[in-house]
Amino acid sequence: MAVLVKDFESVIKRLESNYKDCEISQTDSVLNIKLPLGEIKVKNNKIYFYVLNESLGKLDFESNDELYEEIEAFIVTLQEEGNKCNPTYVKAQKNLEKRRGRAEFAFSTIFFVIFVLYTLFDLHWIFLLMVVLSPLASTVTSRFLSLYSLSKDWLCPHCGAKLPIERKRWHPCQKYVSHCPECKKLLIDRSMIRNLRDEIFPKDYDDYEGFDFVPPQKRGRKVCISFGILVLISTLILGLILTIVARRALFASTVVNIVFLIIAALLGFLLLLLPARCIEEDKADFSFMVYEQKILSFVGIFIGFVGIFFISAAFFTSKEDVSSAVICNFFGISFLFSGIFMTAAYQNRALYVYKSHLTYVTSFGRKKDFDIQQISYVKLSATDSIKFFDENRKKLFSIERNMIGSENVFDWIGMQNIEFKLSCTLQRRTGKQMEASVITWDEAYSTPLHKHIKAIRIGLIFVFSLFAAGCILPLLMWFFGDLKISHTIYMSTLSPIPLLLYYLAFAPVLLLYNKPKEATEEWKSKYIKFPTIHVTLLSLFLLFHVYYLWMSIILQVADTGRFMVLFIAIAAILSLLLYIRTPKHMRKKDGLAMLILSSVVLCFSMTYGIVLLSSTPVEHYPAIFTDSRIEGSDEENPSHYLTVLLDDKKDAELYVTKETYDLQQLETPFIVCQKNNVFGIRLVRLHLPMSKEVFSSVREKNT
pLDDT in tens, 276-306: 766 655 566 777 888 888 888 888 888 888 8
pLDDT mean over 152-171? 77
**Nearest CA to 188 among 23, 17, 38?**
38
User: What φ, ψ does residue 225 adopt, rounded to 5°?
Assistant: -65, -45
CA atoms within 13 A on the CB side of 509: 20
pLDDT at 574: 92
Asked if residue 342 lies in contact with residue 296, where contact means CB atoms within 8 angstroms, the answer is yes
Query: CA-to-CA distance for 403 and 292, rounded, in angstroms?
Result: 5
Confidence of residue 692 (pLDDT cuts 50, 70, 90): very low
Give all strands of the β-sheet with 23-26 in edge-to-edge order.
23-26, 30-34, 38-43, 46-51, 54-60
The more confident residue out of 178 and 247 is: 178
Query: Poorest-confidence range of 245-249, 255-259, 412-416?
Result: 245-249
pTM score of the predicted model: 0.47
DSSP letter at 520 equals -
pLDDT category of residue 435 using cuts at 50, 70 and 90 = very low
Is residue 296 within 8 A of residue 345, CB to CB? The reply is yes
Average pLDDT over residues 461-490: 83
Q: How far apart are CA 158 and CA 179, in angstroms?
A: 11
Are the CB atoms for 38 and 77 separated by under 8 Å? no
Beta bridge partners of 615: 677
pLDDT interval class at 557 (50, 70, 90): confident
- Given a contact cutoff of 8 angstroms between Cβ atoms, the answer to whether 374 and 382 are in contact is no
Average pLDDT, whole number, for the chain? 78
Q: What are the pLDDT digits (tens) for 28-43? A: 678 888 877 778 888 8
**Model pLDDT for residues 312-366, shown as the tens digit of each residue:** 877 766 565 677 778 788 888 888 998 898 888 888 888 888 888 888 988 888 8
Q: Distance (Å, rounded) from C-alpha 77 to C-alpha 91?
A: 20
pLDDT digit string, tens, across residues 173-210: 777 677 788 887 777 766 665 555 555 554 443 333 44
683: which strand partners?
A: 557, 675
The type of residue at 247 is R
With left for phi above 0 and alpha for psi between -120 and 50, is residue 53 left, alpha or beta?
left
| Averaged pLDDT for residues 88-107 | 79
| DSSP H or E stretch at residue 47 | strand 46-51
248 band by pLDDT with thresholds 50, 70 and 90: low
What does 165-220 look like in DSSP terms, one character per residue? EE--TT--EEPP-SB-TTT--B-S-HHHHTTHHHHHS-TTGGGGTTS---------
DSSP 391-407: TTS-EEEEEETTSBTTH
Q: What is the pLDDT confidence band of residue 218, given thresholds at 50, 70 and 90?
A: low
Residues in contact with 636: Cβ distance below 8 Å, sequence separation at least 6, in sequence order? 122, 318
Answer whether 377's CB lies under 8 Å from 420's CB. Answer: yes
CA distance 681 to 683: 7
Is a pLDDT exceeding 80 seen at residue 427? Answer: no
String of DSSP letters for 311-374: HHHGGGS-TT-HHHHHHHHHHHHHHHHHHHHHHHHHHH-EEEEESSEEEEE-TTS-EEEEEGGG
Strands 385-389 and 395-400: antiparallel
In sign, the C-alpha dihedral spanning 607, 608, 611, 614 is negative
DSSP state of 482: S
**In terms of Cα–Cα distance, which of 367, 356, 219, 348 is closest to 284?**
356
Distance, CA of 37 to CA of 77 (rounded, Å): 11
More confident residue, 82 or 499: 499
Closest CA to 214 of 406, 414, 416: 406
- 45 with 61: CB under 8 angstroms? yes
